Structure 1
């Protein structure tokens, strides 16, 4: 069995095993959500309810069973709205959660069904009667270009994920493409195109960088390879989020316990004081090399990765909290203004427990970090307020469509619409949402076996731009002044984000999505006919309309049309690059505002993304 095959088998066996049960937080009393309302529409039922104080999210139940997906690690949603698609008549309830273990009582049950699928569809007085005869259901969108709501939040800009940074030094090839050079280029691209500021990656203390050895019982540090990778990051204009892990072999209590094909050691240290000395030595070295004020202003330190999973931490929860305490103290010993945080947990785990722990231990905590895949990030602000830390930033240091390696869910337009749903949900309440990862140059459970293999990257091997990349491109094109929007009719999964530039350009980003992965390849009944009206205008505007869907801005479809296969030949790479474009749905046209408004009509499939931009003539 190859190293990659062995790593994959071990991963699958241990992925869902907890590393232990942390001390439960104090019991909380939650109310049942009030005002549950189920509105049927074409192909869906939209549920809305009233918020519950102290709730970080809500669990939707269909016929008594939590609504979830097999590839989603947290079923709860952060907002008081859920669009259920792909199902018939059902009885719905909703319960609030205050921690991952604290679930409140269920709401009163409400029956409903999508329009045309059963007797329950007539509930709410035919609220979705906007369905267009013989066509897609109708959605009316109104944007007021004169009504600024706030400065547009950009949660994707602070951080991006990457494969372990020693991969930047690799001279090997995948699919005939140079690994180190293309990973470096991928990080440059996201820095330049999205304004990303920092990069997070695993294993900076791993043995492949040779940071720690014991010679005659004495610790010997060598940060030369760390300097190489961090110099490369700095040269791109990025800064590292230093994930303190994994364990050097000579310092591990059990060096036989590893994860991934590159055999990162996941054991606690045999000597916590020696670990503290290593962390302090690393931070002191970085401060000497790059300057203490550079580290204070632009870097941060995160303690370990997903210690709540047995596949990443073989110690107990108590040992992790000790690791957190001594690591935080070591960082702060170098300078008290350096930032440190955690628990960098999988699926929102141990956040409440870490908050309770540091309240007793007195350890410093400058940010909370956790991970979620396949759903929008939860809202931990009520928990932070409850612990007297309302201003502590929350960082999602890993987030994406799927936690599963080689899962194709994110390579097509479904991933693009999902990304925008999550980013808009996070906007204004999360300090960072780090997409995991920038590039398909990634080897945790084996290097990519083919061009489109369900990789985590925004960019393929060869740095082709996936629909998810194009979605972030469109979000980044929005101006800084967020605008008021109203969505009416049978909206279903249609969401809108609009903003204005200082020069008067107005961008409207609309997408049609579902969390039901069984419909990732599309569902005709969820397509919508959108009528977009932008008010608060005057004069002529050049209107452009860019689109991401199965036929537009979809490089995976382009590869299939060329015959597909594992890897392109040399000439095929050039052809793929020539069609790796962000496509216009219609040619640009000039329209004149009538009574201060313009209207643009278009069909929006599910999954699909449209970006309509109105540009006034130059002054």
Structure 2
């Protein structure tokens, strides 16, 4: 058993908690669906992210870019913001700001026909960079007019998505992407220099070379970029079987080295040293058909990552908040290995609670270990989270300050026995289409086990394999009403 001695004035450890800064989403057009909105409402109610980032702002299903022929037969661009307003109004309603990823290419503005995903996002450069820049500027100007300049300039801007992959950017053409980035960067800044603009939004394929070349390009072109963005996934190559991919997790410290290397590349340039690095996508698996995403193991592994990601990064956006998601097509079942924190049917997965627990941590970190964190409000309230990635139970003891006579401990537990809707879905026979009764049952089973206890000096607990354990400790003050005797109540007389 590991024992942790807590004192009121113990030294504060280094821990940067940005778990609630940003969350990912499927393409923007999905925000018009009722189930999408229900899932995001649940996420915002229980966690409350500041920003949301996803693909498809300029894809054809959003219908922003249009063309018509004038009286001389010339094609003229025009813009339709009907769906954009609906999406942004909904985001405003649930208290979340967009992290604007500029992409993909409208078909009428594209130089080619290459697409990606089930929903066919065009990934070719614009046939006219002037037309592309005008589209970007018109969209930003419209948003400023509708929502106010002071608000909209707080929405970060990212140029494209994973251009280092030929599937996301034609031929993974680095030179062409750098041109896109520079032209877009200058176009956005011309609208308002307060916009925070970044890239290159790369994933972990040839990422060192890409980031080195990108930083060199920005240096040579004297671009005063505001952020550097990249993605982060932590699995080995998947093995496919039917509709699913099965993966092996890398050890967390091994994966985190990638981010340390990226941080050092950025800091090699004096003018960019300390520049915020945003992880605009992260998860365990990079595929939306990995059953790992639905498990308690995923929740425990993400808990460990969240304790470390702030060491290198100013934000990190879990990919994604919900399973209304169609990159590889419409899923067949509610538990299909989707990226989301919420399974279809509005069923929280175990990893949902990892984020909910991190949201409730206090500002001062008193203890940071391999398996847990303890924080304090600087007064007499403690909160902590512990996780277990092993196959054996792990035990901990927290010793509290002696100045308080009694403590009330609230604990919330998510593990394979308490909050495991995946297992219950399996027990039900893995129904592809849930009945209303089955859906309600799984929503109930998905909740953490919540308990309270009173202690005078210490709190001992066990974290089961693949479990996540959250606790809060507050001084207990007895304020019984006149004549109320709890012991008599229990004795039934």
TM-score (norm 2): 0.86
Are the equivalent residues in 1 in contact too, given 2:8–2:378 (CA < 8 A)? no
1:403 equivalent to 2:286? Answer yes
| 1:330 match: secondary structure | helix
What residue is the counterpart of 1:190 in the other structure? 43
> Is 1:441 matched up with 2:324?
yes
TM superposition shift of 1:391: 2.9
Check whether the contact 1:470–1:553 (CA below 8 A) recurs between aligned residues.
no
Separation in 1, partners of 2:438, 2:87:
32
How much does 1:352 deviate?
2.3
The equivalent of 1:146 in structure 2 is 9
> 2:22 is matched with which residue?
159
Corresponding residue of 2:184:
327
1:538-549 pair list within 5 angstroms: 538-549=404-415
Distance 1:412 1:612 in 2: 21
Residue in structure 2 matched with residue 125 of structure 1 by the alignment: none
Contact 1:147–1:484 (CA<8 Å) still a contact in 2? no
* 2:301 aligned residue: 418
In structure 2, the partner of 1:227 is: 85
Find the partner of 1:310 among 143, 154, 166: 166
Encode CA deviations 1:281-334: one digit per residue, 9 max, x unaligned: 2112211221111112x2111100000001100051100000000000010000
Q: Which consecutive residues of structure 1, in runs of 5 or more, have no partner in the other structure?
A: 1-137, 170-179, 488-493, 514-521
CA contact under 8 A between 2:284 and 2:293: conserved in structure 1?
yes
C-alpha separation in 2, matches of 1:232 and 1:433? 23
Q: Do 2:384 and 2:471's aligned partners in 1 also have CA atoms closer than 8 Å?
A: yes
Query: Match for residue 265 of structure 2?
Result: 383
Cα contact 1:152–1:479 (8 A) shared by 2 = no
Quote the Cα distance in structure 2 between the aligned partners of 1:506 and 1:537: 14
SS at structure 2 position matched to 1:306: coil
Number of residue-to-residue matches in the alignment: 446
Matched, 1:560 2:420: no
Q: Deviations over 1:443-464 (max 9, x none)?
A: 1111121011101000011211
State the distance in 2 between where 1:497 and 1:470 align.
16
Instruction: Provide the residue aligned with 1:591 in structure 2.
Output: 455
Aligned to 2:99: 241
Aligned 8 A contact 2:15 2:307 in 1: no
Contact in 1 for aligned 2:60/2:107 (Cα 8 Å):
yes
Structure 1 length as normaliser, TM-score? Answer: 0.69
Contact 1:162 1:200 in 2 (8 A): yes
| Greater CA drift, 475-484 or 445-454 | 475-484
Runs of 4+ in structure 1 off by over 4 angstroms are none
Question: Aligned partners of 2:50, 2:78: CA distance in 1, in Å?
Answer: 32
Among candidates 378, 386, 390, match of residue 510 of structure 1: 386
Alignment of 1:144-293 (within 5 A): 144-149=7-12, 153-169=16-32, 180-216=33-69, 217-254=75-112, 256-293=113-150
The structure richer in helix per residue is: 2
Shift, 1:269, TM fit:
0.9
In terms of mean alpha carbon deviation, does 141-150 or 276-285 score higher?
Answer: 141-150
3-state SS, counterpart of residue 170 of structure 2: coil
Q: Distance in 2 between matches of 1:523 and 1:580?
A: 21
Deviates more, 1:532-541 or 1:280-289: 532-541
Aligned residue for 1:448, secondary structure, equals: coil
Partner residue of 2:155? 299
Equivalent residue number for residue 484 of structure 2: none
**How far apart in 2 are the matches of 1:345 and 1:618?**
53
1:119 corresponds to which residue?
A: none
Q: Is the 8 A contact 1:329 1:364 kept in 2?
A: no
In structure 2, relative to structure 1, the CA distance for the partners of 1:210 and 1:151 (3 Å cut) is same
